[in-house]
């Protein structure tokens, strides 16, 4: 079981690494949000893998479901914000947001 836990941790770390690199390197707002989604998948995998290793899978499932519900709310709000930013700046470039400086 312990080796399986490390396998899940390894792949979860890979997902989190990809997400962080995407956040650092991309400029498109939708791409940045996709990177956040990938990061979230890594977190879900860590929660579930640890739940499996600790034999507390039901609690892990409850936590993952809570995370998914919060994720939906976050996605809806963030995409609405992105659409509004696009209407204002006619671009999805994150550098265009520097115009919002006071």
Partner 1 sequence: MILQTALLIGLVIFSVLAIVLRDLLKSAISLAVASLLLGIIFFRMKAPYAGAFEISVVAGLITVLFVLTIALTKSGDDVRESKIANWVFPLVFVAFIVIDALVMKSLLGKVPALPAAAEAGGFGDVLWRGRTLDLIGQIAAILAGVFAVLALFRKKDKHE
Q: Which of 43, 46, 52, 100 binds partner 1 (CB under 8 A)?
A: 52
**Residue labelled with tokens 């006619």:** 90
Q: With CB under 8 A, what is the number of residues at the site for partner 1?
A: 74
Per rule CB under 8 A, is residue 11 in the interface with partner 1? yes
Give me the 63-92 binding string for partner 1, x by CB under 8 A, dash otherwise.
xxxx-xxxxxxxxxx-xxxxxx-x---xxx
Least CB distance to partner 1 at residue 102 (A)? 21
88 phi-psi bin (left φ>0, alpha ψ -120 to 50, beta other) = alpha
List binders of partner 1 among 20-39 (CB under 8 A).
21-22, 24-31, 34-35, 37-38
15 phi-psi bin (left φ>0, alpha ψ -120 to 50, beta other) = alpha
CA angle 65, 68, 74 (to 5 degrees): 150
């Amino acid at each position: 079981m312990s080796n399986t836990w490390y396998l899940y941790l390894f792949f979860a770390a890979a997902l989190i690494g990809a997400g962080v690199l995407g956040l650092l390197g991309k400029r498109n707002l939708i791409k940045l949000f996709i990177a956040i989604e990938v990061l979230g998948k890594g977190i879900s995998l860590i929660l579930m893998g640890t739940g499996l290793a600790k034999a507390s899978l039901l609690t892990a499932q409850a936590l993952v479901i809570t995370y998914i519900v919060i994720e939906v709310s976050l996605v809806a709000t963030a995409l609405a914000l992105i659409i509004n930013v696009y209407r204002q700046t006619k671009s999805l470039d994150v550098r265009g947001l520097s115009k919002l400086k006071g």
